[in-house]
Structure 1
Amino acid sequence: MVDIVKISVRTLVEHVLRSGSMETGFRTAASLTEGTKAHQKIQKTYKETDQKEVYVKTEIPYEDLTFVVDGRCDGLLFDENGRVMVDEIKSTRNPIEWISEDTYPVHWAQVIFYAFIYAKDHDLSEITIQLTYVQINSEQQVKFNRKMNFQELEMYVNDIVGQYAAYARMKILHIARRDASARELLFPFENYRKGQRKLAGSVYKTIFDKKDIFASASTGIGKTVSTIFPAVKAIGEGHLHRMFYLTAKTITRTAAEEAFRLLSEKGLELKVVTITAKDKVCFQEEVKCSKEHCIFAEGFYDRINGAVLDIYTNESLMSRQVIENYARKHRVCPFEFSLELAYIADAVICDYNYIFDPRVSLKRLFEEQKKETVLLIDEAHNLVDRAREMYSADLYKSAFLQLSRTFKNRNDSLVKSAKAINHHLLTLKKQGELIFKDLDDELISLAESFIIHAETELVQDVDTDPLLLDTYFATQTFVKIAKFYDERFVTYMEILKNDVRLKLFCLDPSYLINKMGKGYRSKVFFSATLTPADYYKNLLGGTGKDYVTAVPSPFDREKAEVLILPLSTRYRDRERTMTPIVRFVKELIEKQPGNFLIFFPSYHYMEGVHDAFLEHVPYMKTIVQTGGMTESDREEFLAAFKAGEEEQLIGFAVLGGIFSEGVDLKGERLQGVIIVGVGLPQIGLERDIIKEYFNSTGRNGYDYAYVFPGMNKVLQAGGRLIRSETDQGTIALIDDRFLQRKYQSLLPFEWQHFKIKR
């Protein structure tokens, strides 16, 4: 039996021929649009008899494999005798004189493949090939050409295909095993929990029907395995080839890894990769990705194929630790290694931004691959504010002022462009207007000019100036986000002492979430707290065609005693109500043995109550969340909550922080959760801008900006208590607003049997 390998020319030659070191901290970033413009300018110079953007495809048999190779060549140029030359155009921001005929073997490989396919189809014994390089800023060109006979083309193509064959066979063998194991896989537990089958069935139907779904599933359902398992079954049935498990927090990433580990123990053969942020996984003291500064960047592309083949052959669950071990073994950058693996893995566990952020998304995922991929978006309520951050960008005046001074007498063009932005921002400051609805086209033009001059400096500067590099990337992001700017954005200015900050602020991220998620077979948005459903569906890019489901808690609601203490926790009343709150907490924890977590709307409020608490209950053991905790600090905080200890532990933490979501303190490790306040975000400029925007669209702006995000934090914090069938304890809500109809309507059914404490 002959196996078919479908692959594009570019993917094939780039895999086989990549070599050398990772690029320096500055990576020239001609966007796709700029590259297209450069191509089009050259193609416009073609004669009428020439052809451009010509699709080519052929079959190349190789031993037990048949390669179906295709691509699109930039130009077929014909002379007066009808002889053809295959032209491949490449654009660069580097100086054109840096490029010689042999600088990029991979580019020759690409054009040789196109020439081979064309010559084969047209029975040509000889053909001319040409590489055309164009410098984007200056539009300078340099051309290199060669003549090759058909035998030379064929030998070259077969050699490249032969080098790829071992990798292709490895993937084919794995996919056969993967699909068989996925078909045979049974649910990993003896029984489904109440509601779990419903959630798993809804996810499978969503994938089968090529739809999206918004699933609100209460804590304790087992959401992680209930979304991964049906996706695995869909792979076994041939509906999918890949899944992304997207999450915002390390702790939920760990839960996903555990779910895949469990399925692996039940016989599933799946290649799972976890992507960890570069600054966390970097082996060096300072993140500097150049051969001069990092041995794992030097010669990276000479070793990466061997590293991929090794780990892919020997490992299934490629966690951070596993990737680090192989990265050290093969001396490759662990972060870039994980990205390489992400393109060939069956399942990828990573942050939201690898899919939804236009600046860092996995751009080598082609449309065909997306059609066979599902996005499982965990704790989807977090994506609203995260997306606002992804689709916003800012500039600081001080950076451009400093650069104009630093590069004085060194680079006049750069100084001039930096001064122009500094002057423009200073002029805006003097005008006194702080909020603008329209995009500042003049500023964007100045920013684009700065990018060009900054790049010219950066590509020639071995020891890159850190401020220039940071400002370059910030400006590039600013220009990129400006391309998305529409009625869902606003621009605002902040005066910070002697500085000015100008921000393009995304108010409603729904359109861009939808745009970045386009092309994927299905998207599964799930969380314990997608309440109210319409709010999240609106802001996460949902449409009327999407499925919606809600799965109630599988546990008896009597397991949790719910109390409401109607005291004001508004800022103006906090001093007055602090003592009654401390008395209530003291009375509750003395009556109820076991560990408690108390959540507050801010660090300042938490610290004030903690001090007062220690005055009233000096003998009680407490632990307090602090800002900027490391991973080991967090682990230490959670490890302090032990089961069966005689001494109670009272944890003080912040609503919406690292301990109010995704934390599992099962059984006797936690007996009570106390939530102080309704979680409203701090009143500020951005929240008020959001409020005004949604008011203008006919929705309740205050609810959208403050109430719904705040109550989500409350529900998440309360969800820390009942995590399994055996858990029980007390949830206490301290705020008089919990008795108002609006806030009560947002409480889950499991909390509706509350008692009011006076």
Structure 2
Amino acid sequence: MEQPLIRISVRRLVEFILQSGDIDNRMAGADKDAMLLGGKIHRKIQRQMGADYHAEVALKHVIGCRGFDLQIEGRADGIIDTPEGTVVDEIKGVFKELHLLAEPVEVHLAQAKCYAFMYAEQNGLDRIGVQMTYCNMETEELKRFQSVYGAKELKDWFFEVAGKYEKWARYEITWKEKRNASIKGVEFPFAYRDGQKDLVSSVYRTILRKKKLFIQAPTGVGKTMASVFPAVKAVGEGLGEKIFYLTAKTITRTVAQQAFETLKEQALRFKVITLTAKEKICFCEEANCNPDYCPYAKGHYDRVNDAVYELITTSDDMSREVIEEQARRWNVCPFEMGLDVSLWVDGVICDYNYVFDPNAHLKRFFGDGMSGEYLFLIDEAHNLVERGREMYSAALYKEDFLEIRRLVKQEDPKLAGRLDECNKQMLALKRECETYQVLDSVSHIYLKLMNLMAELERYLEECTEEEKRKKVLDLYFDVRMFLGIYDRLDENYLIYSELEDSGRFKVRLFCVNPAANLKEFLEKGNSAIFFSATLLPMHYYKELLSTEKDDYAIYALSPFEEEHRLLLLGTDVSTKYTRRSEDMYRRYAEYLKQVAETKKGNYIAFFPSYQFMEQVYVQFLSLTEDCGDIEYVMQSQYMSEEAREIFLENFEEEREKSLMGFCVMGGIFSEGIDLVEDKLIGAAIIGTGLPQVCRERELLKTYFDGKGYRGFDYAYLYPGMNKVLQSAGRVIRTDEDRGVILLLDERFGDVRYREIFPREWKTVWYCSLRNVKEQMHRFWEPEG
């Protein structure tokens, strides 16, 4: 019988087994060889090496273990035929000055030695050369370290490293057997709601065919379980190895955790971790990851593998509390340990940026050359458009170069000189720019930034003043991000300069359509399911989240009876800037007063901005000061997590009066909150949610007009209506819920807005201040 096969890349093997020492964020460029910039240098060096140099040679070696085979694989950068014999070449791009490099980095040399063993073994060689080629990214100067190894010496070393991995591979095999056996007995945990079974089937079929699926599913369909359940079943049948459940907000992560816990009630063995942000899980007052400040950073890599192995072999519970307890016991960083644990679990619940952000993604899964049988479940997928734009855009400010130049001028003239060169480039652009300017290229700035990176890296390694170092490090990361994004520039980008109202001058690489960048990471897995209650219009989201033309899409029908919802459209109010006045604010306040008076209950009014909300709030207070039947609570601009919880607790309390919540559309209370039954019986949506006119919105409008799309819709209408639909979705959450939704802006009557209404909004009643109370009375009357 064929044995099960465990595969691991050479790079992951050596980094995993040979990691040691401290976590130290003072080493700014510790991960520089993995930067996007390195690929070009690799290819350039490979092309220059002549006919005897064979680039990107695929190699693998299979070790037979008891009960399974371990396959170690990768690509050697180069195999060179020389008169003296064969040499394996490993290329690394660095910003460090090469004279400071006395010997190869241990894990770099280990990679090369693995390839040397594999090549020697395959070709029956007694001896083989190893060459480490370091290339300075700025000057393209090369430094090589060469050595020769006997085949037996390499074999002994290789088997010692691989032997340390055997217990991990054995754990993986035995765990998967237990997990898959348990999945066979798992059934859908609830009675199927209308349309839910079709959703489950569609998700499973999409995974089976390795495709992408877009799901527009109204609140109440049960999207989370309808995607988690078939994905778990697919893992059990070998159609995927790991589920990534991706969210934009903390609150939706809780819903995903609950879905997995519900399935575990059927004896499912499935390890799931929710990744918590470093700032939240850090044991120290400040997340300063260096061994002089943090005791958990000191020697972390010497202990973390043992901590992880003990945890995964003794528990299925990977909750935050368990991770923290284990990290304290082993004296390691809880954040970094959590990332290491994610390698060994079956499901990872995390923010989008762990997968898609080129600066923050999990390099263990999505780094250069990494891929796997991943299944992506992308919750609240409408958020990914704006988040994607931000992740793949970058900006630099002229003033930042000047500030750091002043900071280092006396002690480091060389770095100050490089900063001055960049500042002069920016100054030349600033002189050409009155307010903003679309640019064809910034290649001249790119070259100066490459020169600057080497000096910044040198400075950061030498600097001992913590405050000064922090400021320089911030610029280092900004420049690194800019260089990384520069290498992505294509037709999906606009480059522009802008003189901001504050007087600061920036150059921005603006990703207008993130689909191609997202594709790069989605292709590292098998299948992706995008789902949301507000994925309308579907063509807009498909255009900006995927480059494929044959993606699947389904529109799930609402399971709730239409009679449970009253949808009113106010025709005598508007949030247009030209119509804003004290009288208009008072009209809105009057609407809210009438809503709260018609039936005692909890309501939320969603506003286009804090300023607009405060104006209406003042009018509302003056209208209701003499009537004691309405209580109110208002969202503030900077709320802590505790303050948010207190705000929501207001809607959980039993009360004798109506409660009116004042919130901002698109904010923390317009998505993801679940106030069921009579905890929320109405929402007033004040305005169409259109983003404020600004530079980037106008650039988006012009860009999409130029592509033949309706630019206004792409830049303003669709993002605005998404906020409206999200806010309205707070009202009807279960079969028992009844509620009113008021769309309070005359523009909602326009056909361009109406065509984005979801299918379940079939019946819309027009109203004004004169008759709104009467219409709501008729709706609530059956209840008495």
Above 0.5 in TM-score? yes
Is the alpha carbon distance of 1:68 and 1:647 closer, same or farther for their aligned partners in structure 2, counting shifts above 3 Å? Answer: same
Cα pair distance change 1:505/1:116, threshold 3 Å: closer
CA distance in 2, matches of 1:369, 1:132: 22
Moved more, 526-535 or 690-699: 690-699
Deviations 1:320-359 (A, max 9, x none): 3332222222222222222223333321111112222222
**Aligned equivalent of 2:782:** none
**What are the within-5 Å matches in structure 2 for residues 676-687 of structure 1?**
676-687=686-697
Q: In structure 2, what is the equivalent of residue 568 of structure 1?
A: 574
1:489-568 matches, within 5 Å, as 489-490=493-494, 491-566=496-571, 567-568=573-574
Q: Distance in 2 between matches of 1:37 and 1:596?
A: 57
Please give the per-residue CA displacement for 1:379-403, whole angstroms capped at 9, x wherever unaligned: 1111111111112211111111111
* 2:11 aligned residue: 10
Where in structure 2 are the equivalents of 1:199-348 lying within 5 Å? 199-348=199-348
- Measured in 2, the distance between the counterparts of 1:114 and 1:478 equals 33
Q: Distance in 2 between matches of 1:685 and 1:379?
A: 26
- Judge which range, 573-582 or 385-394, deviates more: 573-582
Letter of the 1:579 counterpart: R
| SS, match of residue 410 in structure 1 | coil
1:695 aligns with 2:705: yes
Kindly state the Cα deviation for residue 83 of structure 1 after the two structures are TM-superposed: 4.4
Distance 2:343 2:118 in 1: 27
Report the Cα distance in structure 2 between the residues aligned to 1:31 and 1:78, rounded to whole angstroms.
Answer: 27
Is residue 62–residue 162 contact of structure 1 (8 Å, CA) maintained in 2?
Answer: no
Residues 62, 161 of structure 1: 8 Å contact kept: no
**Equivalent residue for 1:158?**
159
2:755 counterpart residue number: 745
- Gaps of at least 5 residues in structure 1 are none
Change (3 A) 1:636 1:534: same
Q: Which residue of 665, 683, 696 corresponds with 1:655?
A: 665
CA contact (8 A) 1:643 1:667 kept: no
Distance 1:645 1:60, change over 3 A: same
SS at match of 2:344: coil
Is 1:482 matched with 2:486? yes
Partner in structure 1 of residue 778 of structure 2: none
Which residue does the alignment assign to 1:60? 63
Aligned partners of 1:273, 1:670: CA distance in 2, in Å?
A: 32
- Mark the CA change 1:680 to 1:50 in structure 2 (over 3 Å): closer, same or farther: closer
Sort the Cα spacing of 1:666 and 1:37 in 2 relative to 1 into closer, same or farther, 3 A: closer
Distance 1:173 1:301, change over 3 A: same
2:590 match: 583
Distance (whole Å) between structure 2 residues aligned to residue 458 and residue 564 of structure 1? 59
CA drift at 1:200: 1.1
CA contact (8 A) 1:439 1:485 kept: no
Give the distance between the partners of 2:86 and 2:578, measured in 1 at CA.
81
How big is each residue's C-alpha offset from its partner over 1:542-600, in whole Å with a ceiling of 9 and x where there is no partner? Answer: 53211110001101011112222221222232322222222222122112111111110
Take 2:397 and 2:412, find their aligned partners in 1: how far apart are those partners? 21
The answer to whether the 8 Å contact 1:25/1:288 transfers is no
Tell me how far apart the structure 1 counterparts of residues 512 and 342 of structure 2 sit (CA, whole Å).
31
Give the match for residue 71 of structure 1: 74
The structure 2 residue matched to 1:607, chosen from 610, 614, 618, is 614
- The one-letter code matched in structure 2 to 1:520 is G
Paired residues of 1:494 and 1:502 also in contact (CA < 8 A): no
CA distance in 1: counterparts of 2:486 and 2:310, whole angstroms: 43
The one-letter code matched in structure 2 to 1:164 is Y
2:471 to 467, 472, 475: 467
Task: Tell me the CA shift for residue 695 of structure 1.
Answer: 1.8
Report the alpha carbon displacement of residue 106 of structure 1 after superposing the two structures with TM. Answer: 3.4
Provide the alpha-carbon RMSD of the alignment: 2.5
Q: Which residue of 1 aligns with 2:733?
A: 723
Contact 1:131–1:143, Cα closer than 8 Å, also in 2: yes
Is 1:19–2:23 an aligned residue pair? no
Quick check: 1:405 aligned with 2:406?
Answer: yes
Closer, same or farther: CA 455–253 of 1 in aligned 2, 3 Å: same
CA distance in 2, matches of 1:107, 1:75: 14
- State the distance in 2 between where 1:136 and 1:573 align: 57
- Displacement after TM superposition at 1:99 (Å): 4.3
C-alpha displacement of 1:259? 0.7
Q: TM-score, normalised by structure 1?
A: 0.94
1:437 Cα deviation (Å)?
A: 4.2
C-alpha distance in 1, partners of 2:79/2:371? 31
Tell me, yes or no, if the aligned pair for 2:214 and 2:553 is still in contact at 8 Å.
yes
Q: Residues 739, 334 of structure 1: CA spacing in aligned structure 2 closer, same or farther, 3 A cutoff?
A: same
Q: Aligned residue for 2:448?
A: 446
Equivalent residue, structure 1, for 2:122:
121
**Any conservation in 1 of the 2:96–2:454 contact (CA below 8 Å)?**
no
Q: Who is 2:776 aligned against? A: none
In the superposition, relative to structure 1, how do residues 269 and 143 fare at CA in structure 2: closer, same or farther (>3 Å)?
same
Q: Structure 1 residues 584 and 65 mapped into 2: Cα distance closer, same or farther (>3 Å)?
A: closer
Per mean C-alpha deviation after superposition, the further-off stretch among 387-396 and 745-754 is 745-754
Tell me, yes or no, if the aligned pair for 2:433 and 2:497 is still in contact at 8 Å: no
Percent of pairs identical after alignment? 40
Deviation at 1:47, TM superposition (A): 7.7
Alpha carbons 2:365, 2:372 under 8 Å: kept: no
Q: Deviations over 1:152-180 (max 9, x none)?
A: 43333332222212211111111111222
| Conserved? CA contact 2:78–2:88, under 8 Å | yes
Q: What is the CA-CA distance between 1:96 and the residue it aligns to?
A: 3.9
* Bigger Cα displacement from structure 2, 84-93 vs 307-316: 84-93
Alpha-carbon distance between aligned partners in 2 of 1:92 and 1:484, rounded to the nearest angstrom? 20
Distance change >3 Å, CA 446–CA 587, structure 1 → 2: same
Q: 2-side partners of 1:209 and 1:564: how far apart?
A: 43
Q: Distance in 1 between matches of 2:691 and 2:316?
A: 42
Contact in 2 for aligned 1:204/1:234 (Cα 8 Å):
yes
154-163 or 36-45: bigger deviation:
36-45
Alignment-mate amino acid for residue 570 of structure 1: K
Cα offset, 1:146, TM superposition: 4.9
Q: Give per-residue Cα distances to partners, 1:578-634, cap 9 Å, x unaligned.
A: 222222221221121111111100001111111221222233321111112111111
The answer to whether the 8 Å contact 1:599/1:675 transfers is yes
Q: Secondary structure at the match of 1:749?
A: coil
SS of alignment partner, residue 500 of structure 2: strand
Question: How far apart in 1 are the matches of 2:514 and 2:43?
Answer: 33
Shift of 1:468: 1.3
Is the Cα–Cα contact under 8 Å of residues 188 and 263 in structure 1 kept in the other structure? yes
Task: Check conservation: 2:224, 2:256, Cα contact below 8 A.
Answer: yes
Q: 1:128 to 1:592 in 2, by over 3 A?
A: same
Q: Which deviates more from structure 2 when the two are superposed, residues 595-604 or residues 747-756?
A: 747-756
Matches of 1:46 and 1:539 in 2, distance apart? Answer: 41
* Aligned counterpart, 1:375: 376
Equivalent pair of 1:4/1:66 in contact (CA under 8 Å): yes
**CA 1:9–1:495 in structure 2 vs 1: closer, same or farther (change >3 Å)?**
closer
**Which shifted more, 633-642 or 28-37?**
28-37
Amino acid at match of 1:572: T
Q: More displaced, 198-207 or 337-346? A: 337-346
The AA in structure 1 aligned to 2:446 is I
* Shift of residue 46, structure 1, vs aligned partner: 6.1
The DSSP-based 3-state class of the residue aligned with 1:717 is helix
Instruction: For residue 350 of structure 1, give the secondary structure of its aligned residue in structure 2.
Output: strand
Question: Could you say if the C-alpha distance between residues 570 and 330 of structure 1 is closer, same or farther in structure 2, counting changes exceeding 3 Å?
Answer: same
Could you say which residue in structure 2 is the equivalent of 1:675? 685
